[in-house]
Amino acid sequence: MEHLTLKPFPKDFLWGASSSAYQCEGAWDEDGKGPSVQDTAPVIPGTSDWKVCSDHYHRFKEDIALMAEMGFTEYRFSIAWPRIIPDGDGEINPKGVAHYHEVIDECLKYGINPVITLYHFDLPNALQVKYGGWLSRQCIDDFVRYCEVCFREYGSKVKYFLTINEQNMMTMFNMGGYANDKDRYQANHHMLVAMAKATIRCHELCDAWIAPAPNITAVYPLTSAPLDNLAAMDYDQLRNRLYLDTICFGKYPEAFSVYLEQRGCFPDIAEGDMEAMAAAKPDFIAFNYYGASCVKYVSNEDGLAAKAKMRDAQGKADMANFMVGMMTEPGLAVGVTNPLQEQTSYGMGIDPVGLRITLRQLWERYQLPLLITENGCGVPDTLEEDGTVHDPYRIDYLRVHIKACQEAITDGVHLMGYSPWSAFDLVSTHQGIKKRYGMIYINRDDNDLKDCARIRKDSFYWYQKAIKSNGEDLS
Ligand code: BG6
């Protein structure tokens, strides 16, 4: 609907941006840090490794000062588990603990609320080697122990913790490299239980609020065919509800549970698991949003054929069949490109209306305050000879998404804040540092570290103005 006037952003609205440890810190083996599964994975040709990234570990004071200059009232960053407990389950590393005290104190010095993600794709490699990572139930206890260290150390200074970043992407894209779907959903179940137990322990050990942090989005049917509408509803269970109904309502979504059971991949549930999920009460929902999903129905037979083609395509240069197979859930849906959704040059959606729909769906379904913890425009930027970086595309992107936030607030949604990806350039998960998201340019390339100088882009000044006016001046 079109509102005739828009409500202002709340006075205490959190304005800031987000990062993750392994993508920005560098210092991958310094001060006692153990390797994570990211450090030991092969480097994708043509992209950067994780050794230096944005050098944030050494330059966080300079970075946080720039965030303060932009007017941030929050900074979402992650703690690297292998910096706190290098082998995942052994001794605590005092230098790692001290480092995050310094980062938190630096934020607080400027009145910036730290929003801390406890786990952002960087499992201690030792746990992967020792027992296969999340496939083992032992990982639940080890994660909860690590979280307890963080709650005890930082819980008196930090108001907001996030448990696991984008668990749904890790499961859907099989980031753990599991041999079959049963294992994939078993590992996912362990993460759900770990998230529930960490939520409970947070409330027992400190006064902070805690939330899950999946990647959530509205799901559109490709056509108005009844089966495509059903596919959109089912895909919503697989893509969104599996990760939020469990922590918010303490139960797996029903139709998708039957789907998994009939295919022999519903996870084994141990005594106490569902009780932990029912007892865990998140205080808010954090979510990342990069554009809506679009799906169409696929029969079981056609879906299995697409999966077979995907296996054949693996290792060959047949990306088309590989991607279709990846996006297929036999008998449920296949993810497709929405011909009516704008895209960045990297093929990521630009869909502010989808953000408003997603906010509405989350609020109406769960009735918990919402925090947008990622949203952003990752594209190459040019550093001009005069030392400026003009990024009007990023400003346009931010403008329309912030406007969508205001429309959702006017709709009645309780939105706590907006924390796009990212304050400064960092290394993308698969596409190197050339895919830049920051409002601060980091002077380095994928294969040349240069001086990693920090350079304010045009979007830096634009966001500064937007924050200063509490979202009123988006010109
Ligand atoms: C989210 C992740 O999926 O998207 C971030 O939480 C990631 O870690 C961001 O960097 C952008 O994706 P990409 O692949 O462009 O880095």
Least confident of 165-169, 203-207, 324-328, 368-372: 324-328
- Distance from the alpha carbon of residue 128 to the mean position of ligand 1, in angstroms: 22
Question: How does the average pLDDT of the chain come out, rounded?
Answer: 97
The residue to which tokens 């979202």 are assigned: 471
pLDDT (mean) for 319-339:
92
Q: Please tell me whether residue 220 adopts helix, strand or coil conformation.
A: strand
Whole-number pLDDT of residue 316:
80
Sheet holding 293-296, edge to edge: 219-221, 293-296, 333-335, 328-329
* Whole-prediction pTM: 0.97
- Distance from the alpha carbon of residue 431 to the mean position of ligand 1, in angstroms: 10
The model's confidence at residue 357, banded by pLDDT at 50, 70 and 90, is very high
**pLDDT per residue as tens digits for the range 218-250:** 999 999 999 999 999 999 999 999 999 999 999
Which is it for the CA torsion 321, 327, 329, 333, positive or negative?
Answer: negative
Which is it for the CA torsion 458, 456, 418, 232, positive or negative?
Answer: positive
- Distance from the alpha carbon of residue 419 to the mean position of ligand 1, in angstroms: 13
Ligand 1 atom showing the smallest separation from residue 435 Cα: 15
Q: Give the list of residues 6+ apart from residue 334 with CB closer than 8 angstroms, or none.
A: 295, 296, 297, 298, 303, 306, 324, 327, 328
Whole-number pLDDT of residue 307:
92
Nearest CA owner, ligand 1 atom 15: 428
Percent of the chain with pLDDT over 90: 96
**How far is the C-alpha of 304 from the C-alpha of 121, rounded, in Å?**
29
Whole-number pLDDT of residue 287:
98
Statement: residue 315 has pLDDT above 90: no
The size of the chain, in residues, is: 475
**pLDDT per residue as tens digits for the range 31-81:** 999 999 999 999 999 999 999 999 999 999 999 999 999 999 999 999 999
Ligand 1 atom showing the smallest separation from residue 346 Cα: 15
| Interhelix angle 458-468/392-411, nearest 10 degrees | 20
The model's confidence at residue 377, banded by pLDDT at 50, 70 and 90, is very high
The half-sphere exposure of 393 on its side-chain side, counting CA atoms within 13 A, is: 16
Probe ligand 1: pick from 48, 50, 167, 374, max atoms within 8 Å of CB? Answer: 374
Ligand 1 atom showing the smallest separation from residue 348 Cα: 15
- Distance from the alpha carbon of residue 43 to the mean position of ligand 1, in angstroms: 16
β-strand partners of 161: 116, 210
Instruction: List, by residue number, the catalytic residues.
Output: 166, 374
Ligand 1 atom showing the smallest separation from residue 376 Cα: 11
Probe ligand 1: pick from 375, 428, 430, 437, max atoms within 8 Å of CB? Answer: 428
Whole-number pLDDT of residue 380:
97
Ligand 1 atom showing the smallest separation from residue 378 Cα: 15
Per-position b or e across 385-421, b if 16+ CB within 10 A of its CB: eeeebebeebbebbbbbbbbbbbbbbbebebbbbbbb
Statement: residue 317 has pLDDT above 80: no
Cα 286 from chain centroid? 9
**pLDDT per residue as tens digits for the range 440-470:** 999 999 999 999 999 999 999 999 999 999 9
Whole-number pLDDT of residue 63:
98
**pLDDT per residue as tens digits for the range 157-212:** 999 999 999 999 999 999 999 999 999 999 999 999 999 999 999 999 999 999 99
Q: Which protein residues touch ligand 1 with a CB less than 6 Å away?
A: 20, 23, 165-166, 169, 215, 288, 374, 378, 421, 428-431, 435
Q: Please tell me whether residue 341 adopts helix, strand or coil conformation.
A: coil
Whole-number pLDDT of residue 90:
98
pLDDT (mean) for 347-369:
97
Whole-number pLDDT of residue 214:
98
Nearest CA owner, ligand 1 atom 8: 429
Whole-number pLDDT of residue 29:
97
Would strands 209-213 and 342-343 be described as parallel, antiparallel, or unpaired? Answer: unpaired
Probe ligand 1: pick from 54, 429, 433, max atoms within 8 Å of CB? Answer: 429
